[in-house]
Amino acid sequence: MKLLWHINSILSIILILMYNPKLEGFGNLRIQGQILNSNKQINKTLEISTWLTIAFFFYIYYFFKYI
């Protein structure tokens, strides 16, 4: 279970770093990946993905806290 928590944590960190507009390295990776066509769609997708990973992180914590 901790493995899932660690993977989610690392994914959350990567998504937050990709969303940071001042960061050069991950910003270039985001553009070169050609995930979506416009910056608005990229930002919206990154924001939704970030919130989902954070919500999943807390879900894992609270779900397994009582087991």
Q: What is the pLDDT of residue 26?
A: 54
What is the C-alpha separation between 58 and 5, in angstroms, rounded?
A: 10
Q: What is the pLDDT of residue 51?
A: 92
How do residues 32-66 score in pLDDT, each as one tens digit? Answer: 455 445 677 778 888 899 999 999 988 888 887 87
User: Taking the C-alpha atoms of 35, 49, 42 and 29 in order, what is their torsion angle to the nearest 10 degrees?
Assistant: -60
What is the C-alpha separation between 6 and 13, in angstroms, rounded?
A: 11
Its pTM stands at: 0.65
How do residues 16-35 score in pLDDT, each as one tens digit? Answer: 887 765 555 555 555 545 54
